[in-house]
A and B are shown apart, each in its own frame.
Chain A
Amino acid sequence: MKDISNKIKEIAKKLLENGQVDIFMAWEKGEYPFQTKPFFARNTEEADKIIFDEYSIHNLSNSLLKFRDRPEKIGIVVKGCDSRGIVRLLEDNQFQRERLYIVGVNCPGMKDPLKAMKNNSGFGKKTEEEDLADKCRNCMQPNPVIYDEILGDIQEAHLEGDRFARVKEIENMSPDERYSFFEESLSKCIRCYACRQVCVACNCRTCIFDETKPQWVGRESSSSDNMMYHLVRASHMAGRCVECGECERVCPVNIPLMLINRKLIKDVDQFFGPYEAGMEYIEGAIPPLSVYRENDPDDFI
């Protein structure tokens, strides 16, 4: 990992020095050994701070959205899941490929700095220390799918067994059981919108939840408004979620957001697929739900 970290630093310095990029997106170390955070270097001096370690879990592709209307050329480090986020942005026409220099890292799996921060904070109960973040245990694409340069050895996916196992359990519940499961999970929501903000697929310029005329979803943190929020958020992810797991990782109240996203992934694959979002970038390709076809299945409606 140290080796990869040094190589990234070298690449960043070279790119910034010869003007190939204006900004290089990677990570820097925070206050604690387990705290690694996003960092955008703009010159070789700043690039000295760049690191890549077992806590470089953040999907930086979301940060490109801040620069979508700007002229800068950007260097960015992506793991497997993050690279699918880049495909998302390219397919959605939110970023131009030629503005990017992508450094791919074959990812051995990450630890979660947020979980470590919480565990070391003294707030509430400690949870078990884990070698691998939840999202990485469900990873099926550790190796980047799009890059200009690739680092590290090819990695095996960590996902063991059926990634839809829990989805199927919920599907097999009775409607009442299912309703109370979601009512309980979603009643905790504090509507901080962190799940939306960290999502690379949430790239609408004006989010439906920010619209006021009309206001589509009420602002009460009540079970009906919360359910509406999550229902709409999830539907908008259909065929678009790249399974980076950031929404669930950052949720301050532990809502099982990936479970909801996976249900949509499973359905899109079943009804409109076979399809996995963001697995390869083909210029001009149209993801299933971005286009209407007369023979689209509708008998499940």
Chain B
Amino acid sequence: MQILNKNKLKAALNKLAETADVFVPAARGENSGFYSWKTFDQEKDELMLEALNVYLPPKNVLFPQTERMYSFQEEGSGVVIKESFEDSSPTVIFGARACDVAAIDCFDDVFLTRGYEDTFYKSRRDNTTIIANACYQPGPNCFCASMGVNPTDPATADIIIRDTGEDYVWEARTEKGTALTQKIADLLENKEVKIPELQAFSKNVEYDGVAAKLKGMFEHPIWDKLSEACQTCGICTYVCPSCYCFDIQVKSFGEEGYRFRCYDSCMYREYSQMAGGHNPREDAKERFRNRFLHKLEFFQERYGKPLCVGCGRCIVACPAGISITEIIKEIKEA
């Protein structure tokens, strides 16, 4: 099998960065997320490939928090489009965990299927190669397997690397993956190594039947109780690798301006504010319920899988200690 010795990891990243913008999991100050290798500070930043995961997911690589769509200018009595900002530059996501890859699969469903293609997303996605880092030691808040994700074998990754301690087993899975592998061919070796075994999950949840059950639970009193502590901030939606709601806004300066989109959150009151003044989700309970129905029922009905990949970030980050696994259990018991 092909392996990349860990001593050659930085050389490989440098090589890949010659022809693409490579995003790596890293700790930067007190924060962690996927940062461009170009901006990686060898003294201050720390690669987090051996950590369970990073706090902020890689979703901003394919779906930036703020993304310019096009610019415009007034001309005579009309307006002309000046420039469209589709980004087709080659990009690599290096070392995403299976949960985060599964979340990108959800994005693909939303932005590329059902008769509508989001050209901004498509352009990025077509030019992005995903190198997944197989996961063998689930953390205390991991429950990806319960949500249908295989932590050691993310099916849609272009390349899978497997950490054996001293080396990474390197396996190209797609044409894109093979092409990228060729760029670092001289850094790879052939060697037989032992692949680790997947350790047991400490957190499991039974998701089967939840979507069907939720169909009849819109008015169930459970939502009052579950949402009580929620302060409707947007942390859960922003640290979530699969939350994809966005808003389209405009900035104009005199006779010119640009349109952009930015993350939005169903936790915000303004999210469901209508032009006429009515708001169908005025209360925290209604917004809270919508978030979980979207994740566990609506997405399942439309795409045949939940919009939760079991990464556990929201459980760790919620200031009110709300846990999606507890909510699934409560729904089951209701």
Question: For B262, what are the chain A residues with a Cβ–Cβ distance below 8 Å?
Answer: 219-221
The answer to whether B321 touches A123, judged by C-beta atoms less than 8 angstroms apart, is no
Question: For B52, what are the chain A residues with a Cβ–Cβ distance below 8 Å?
Answer: 121-123
Given A127-B30, A198-B319, A252-B317: A121 touches B239 (CB 8 Å cut-off): no
Q: Size of chain B's interface in residues, with CB distance under 8 A? A: 51
Query: By DSSP majority rule, is chain A's interface helix, strand, loop, or mixed?
Result: loop
Q: Could you tell me the distance between the alpha carbons of A252 and B33 in the complex, rounded to whole angstroms? A: 12
Given A37-B320, A197-B232, A254-B30: A190 touches B140 (CB 8 Å cut-off): no
In the complex, whether A118 has a CB less than 8 A from a CB of chain B is: yes
A246 to chain B, nearest CB (A): 8
Question: For A232, what are the chain B residues with a Cβ–Cβ distance below 8 Å?
Answer: none
The answer to whether A220 touches B251, judged by C-beta atoms less than 8 angstroms apart, is yes
Question: For B53, what are the chain A residues with a Cβ–Cβ distance below 8 Å?
Answer: 122-123
Query: By DSSP majority rule, is chain B's interface helix, strand, loop, or mixed?
Result: loop
Q: What residue in chain A is nearest B142 (Cβ atoms)?
A: A122
The answer to whether A118 touches B55, judged by C-beta atoms less than 8 angstroms apart, is yes
Q: What residue in chain A is nearest B65 (Cβ atoms)?
A: A221
In the complex, whether A66 has a CB less than 8 A from a CB of chain B is: yes
Question: For A63, what are the chain B residues with a Cβ–Cβ distance below 8 Å?
Answer: 229, 231
Restricting to B304-334, which residues have a CB under 8 Å from any CB of A? 312-313, 315-317, 319-323, 326
Restricting to A105-158, which residues have a CB under 8 Å from any CB of B? 113-114, 117-118, 120-125, 127
The answer to whether A192 touches B229, judged by C-beta atoms less than 8 angstroms apart, is no
Restricting to B6-43, which residues have a CB under 8 Å from any CB of A? 27, 29-32
Q: Size of chain A's interface in residues, with CB distance under 8 A? A: 47
Q: Could you tell me the distance between the alpha carbons of A37 and B226 in the complex, rounded to whole angstroms? A: 12
Segment touching B, from A28-36, A257-265, A272-280: A28-36
The answer to whether B316 touches A118, judged by C-beta atoms less than 8 angstroms apart, is yes
22 residue pairs of the A-B complex, CB under 8 angstroms, read: A31-B326, A36-B321, A39-B229, A40-B228, A114-B319, A117-B315, A121-B139, A121-B312, A123-B32, A124-B31, A124-B51, A125-B48, A192-B233, A192-B235, A193-B233, A194-B234, A194-B235, A197-B231, A210-B270, A212-B273, A218-B251, A219-B249
Closest 9 CB pairs of A and B: A122-B52, A37-B321, A124-B32, A194-B233, A122-B139, A197-B233, A250-B319, A192-B234, A210-B270
Q: A123-B316, A218-B249, A219-B262 are in contact. List 19 more A-B contacts (CB 8 A).
A: A35-B321, A40-B228, A63-B229, A63-B231, A114-B317, A121-B139, A121-B312, A122-B51, A123-B54, A123-B313, A124-B55, A188-B31, A197-B231, A198-B319, A210-B270, A219-B247, A221-B66, A221-B263, A250-B319
